[in-house]
Amino acid sequence: MLNIGVLVSGGGTNLQAIIDKIEDGYLKGCNISVVVSSRVGAYALERARKYNIPAISVPRKEYASIDEYDSALIKSMEDYDVELVVMAGFLSVLGEKFINRFKNKIINIHPSLIPSFCGVGYYGLIPHQKALEYGVKVTGATVHFVELEADAGPIILQKAVYIKDDDTPETLQKRVMEQAEWEILPEAIKLYSEGRLVMEGRKVRILEK
Ligand code: GRF
């Protein structure tokens, strides 16, 4: 059984997608052992509690430094025997201590086709606003391994979503979530749980079943 720790900050729709895929058997062999929110009262915590998943707040604002916050997050992961950390709408920065402790065991969902519209400051609606401003015809979502530099780790999966002429940042965000994020994040977790992700330099090769 792969124990997953999910880091959240907001609504938790990606967490819900993982829960749903465990419930329907797609992610058999996976277990969410804890959900940790950087913000008190995040609705993602309510989603976890509905399924009796341990759901705790480790509020970023209560820690003076990234290093101290890393230590608190590491403890919460270790308390629940977490083997894979999934960042699902997590809005705080993970520091070197956390990333080294869970090296190559942290994945993140980003709402764009990295390397476009990503990096520091690109979160929530912003990647979608920038895609619309730029006039790209295609955007999407990316699941990648997490390294110290924001949104720069080896890419695991991507899925494209076509932009419509009448899209707003909100309509685009919703479609990217529905058609891309909620599909590729559980798929990446499944591949990881089956040992089918192989690092080749900076590239991730997916082994056939
Ligand atoms: C999503 O767009 C996700 O890609 C980004 O945060 C947003 C909210 O995610 N990382 P969630 O609904 O809290 O899962």
Residue 79 Cα to ligand 1 midpoint, Å, equals 25
For ligand 1, atom 1, the nearest C-alpha belongs to 89
Atom of ligand 1 lying closest to residue 44 CA: 13
Q: What's the N-to-C CA distance of the chain in angstroms? A: 18
pLDDT at res. 80: 98
Atom of ligand 1 lying closest to residue 110 CA: 4
Contact 80, 53 (CB under 8 A): no
Q: Identify which of 183, 144, 146 has the alpha carbon closest to the alpha carbon of residue 161.
A: 183
Strand, coil or helix: what is 168? coil
pTM of the model: 0.97
* Ligand 1 mutation target, pool 7, 13, 120, 176, most atoms within 8 A of CB: 13
pLDDT at res. 175: 98
pLDDT at res. 65: 98
Q: Which residues line ligand 1 (CB under 6 A)?
A: 8, 10-15, 44, 88-89, 109, 111, 173, 177, 181
Instruction: Give 105-131 as a 3 state SS string.
Output: CEEEEECCCCCCCCCCCCCCCHHHHHH
Strand, coil or helix: what is 3? strand
User: What is d(CA 191, CA 183) in angstroms, rounded to the nearest whole number?
Assistant: 13
Strands (E), 12-166: 30-37, 55-57, 84-87, 106-110, 138-145, 155-162
- Consecutive 10-residue runs of the chain (209 residues): their mean pLDDT? 98 98 97 98 98 98 98 98 98 97 98 97 97 98 97 97 98 98 98 97 96
